[in-house]
Structure 1
């Protein structure tokens, strides 16, 4: 039997279209996908039209060509983002179109490429796309991210040379983790969202002053802004349409006060940053800023990342995930932030989501900065969760309550 089957691909496509971006009648859809995902994309496009989408466009990528570009193009070309590339995505967002990103990363794609070239190219693209990104981080439009296996990614995950078996095994893991293997994946996702909403609402009612992290890997205090907003599960676009930004998702998250982070953190899973692996790293924070960084692998890449702009050395997100999440229970490192971040409590350096403070989507960058919400051209998650992690919420009166205890939710449910 061919694996995955047509039925499985169709169910996954329906989940991405109906629950991920939740395409609306007459709405345009932009799909960003690698060429290896062609079969799945065909199902997504068919499902999008069945849901009433109009003007479905696919933007293909090819990792072989991407690598050749980094190897051979002059830096001046890598740093130049043509206006037509910006206009295409920006005009789509301005017209209210939805965006589905299909990720299939090769964790070793840019291994051996000069870290400075990668950093400068990424910085140029991030700066050029700032207006477009505001539609994403402010939930002005529906957007979602899903993943499909490729041979190189699957072989890395399972540490094997048997590509066919690795791809099949990774498909099985993905279908299980995103609930495609359940009789009604959409209903299963609705139930899952409700669980995350309950936790989100509890934390929002608490309005903790700050969080304390303690484990073998983390000794950190994180101040929270006044009127911060915890989010998790589904989101709601400006149009009122609900959507699920990340599939999978197991987190509830909010913005820290970027000025009030102190202590040290070590990663518990590798960070795959645009085809470069960063691992065995330790960050020291003082008054919010990263003042020291060490890494066993990819240290130069990480240092370039922290130099992207002024906000890159500060935190933009704190996210809580139980150690018993389905992704964690798989006992796999996916080398894919979409998956690894949902196996583990994590933090993000760089930009915060304005929606993580009350009325933040209506504020200017300057207004957000005044209340402690970080702004940057980057947003990179890194994993710090473990089975021995305890996270306390501390109230303005000094009361300390466990939120995560020994890796698991400790709040009343």
Structure 2
């Protein structure tokens, strides 16, 4: 018998996120899970609904060896194999654990580039994201709890509480923000070390409330590609391609990152030089999940933090496409609550959010729990 929290989460993934239907194939991909309970619950739940579950389990230590030895030929061969499988499925659930969150830290950047270019982008960027009903989530592990500075038991309680939120209510609360973002042209952001302007005019706005990420809670769009000017200093750490970066600072001119500094400036610039689109941004999003309060070196949680926003060098999503193409997509988070230094966001010179709290009356529902 499954832990009822596991069953509740599995039902949410199948019914709300994937809206699984009879006869559909659903690929369940599990990475470094400490135990198989969620995978088993998904297999059983999908079968009960008349769907066809397909399962693959992966270990990050094995993936590290694949990345360490990557060649153009090997990455293309893996992509051909995995792409054929992804093309055969109508839904996808990706569950990521991590026995060691820094497993890929010593993989040379140029080898990770081969994975991103020849495997990730063709399979996930070009097939899974546009062509399947997909959802990705992390799994509570001891290393994850440690990154959150919590005991394993306390983190597990936090995890299931956040992941099984009332996403229908979240969606209703996001509706006024969607309307304001759709009507806005100029965005101005002010925070310690940050003075940034850009346009979001005529770019689609997408509310996220449990359909693609768990946990969820953001409303995203994209900046007009060449419109970003100014400087931004992010106040959260970010793990990308196995390396932890802190004190990331960008200077933009006409949309392009012309200066980039961080705790590892050399590797940061190597990532931004991956291709022409890596120095332009493909997403801008406002975090609306007030149950997530502090960063834990995990993008799926950190980008949803109440009172935050994230800006993304790299690939734009098809749903909110500003024309930027890249093999990278790197969500970088800035928290604007008072306990993180404060800050303001303006839409067309109207103060929209101050110190993480939305100001207009129609957006007060998004402040609940802050």
Deviation of 1:13 after TM superposition, in Å, equals 1.1
State the partner residue of 2:359: 410
Match of 2:186 among 192, 207, 210: 210
TM-score (norm 2): 0.87
Contact 2:344–2:351 (CA under 8 A) maintained in structure 1 = yes
Deviation of 1:143 after TM superposition, in Å, equals 0.6
Deviation of 1:173 after TM superposition, in Å, equals 1.1
* Pair 171,94 (structure 1): closer, same or farther in 2 beyond 3 Å: same
Provide structure 1 residue ranges, at least 5 long, that are not aligned to the other structure: 160-165, 180-184, 235-242, 358-371, 395-399
SS in 2 for 1:333: coil
Query: How is 1:144-223 mapped onto 2 (pairs within 5 angstroms)?
Result: 144-158=135-149, 166-179=151-164, 188-204=166-182, 206=183, 208-223=184-199
CA distance in 2, matches of 1:41, 1:274: 25
SS in 1 for 2:92: strand
Match of 2:127 among 113, 135, 145: 135
* Pair 294,356 (structure 1): closer, same or farther in 2 beyond 3 Å: same
Deviating above 6 A after TM superposition, structure 1's stretches of 4 or more consecutive aligned residues are: none
CA distance in 1, matches of 2:28, 2:237: 27
Deviation of 1:12 after TM superposition, in Å, equals 1.2
State the partner residue of 2:75: 81
- Note if 1:390 corresponds to 2:344: yes
Q: Which moved more, 1:29-38 or 1:336-345?
A: 29-38
Query: How is 1:28-177 mapped onto 2 (pairs within 5 angstroms)?
Result: 28-36=25-33, 37-54=35-52, 56-69=53-66, 73-74=68-69, 76=71, 80-83=74-77, 85-105=78-98, 106-111=100-105, 113=106, 117=108, 119-129=109-119, 130-132=121-123, 133-138=125-130, 140-158=131-149, 166-177=151-162
Q: Which moved more, 1:213-222 or 1:34-43?
A: 34-43
Provide structure 2 residue ranges, at least 5 long, that are not aligned to the other structure: 363-370
CA distance in 2, matches of 1:167, 1:64: 23
SS in 2 for 1:176: helix
- Note if 1:326 corresponds to 2:291: yes
* Pair 194,91 (structure 1): closer, same or farther in 2 beyond 3 Å: farther
State the partner residue of 2:329: 379
Q: How many residues of Structure 1 are paired with residues of Structure 2 in the alignment?
A: 352
Contact 2:276–2:326 (CA under 8 A) maintained in structure 1 = yes
State the partner residue of 1:305: 271
Higher relative contact order (CA 8 A, sep 6+): 1
State the partner residue of 1:288: 255
- RMSD value, Cα: 2.3
State the partner residue of 2:13: 16
State the partner residue of 1:346: 310
CA distance in 1, matches of 2:42, 2:152: 20
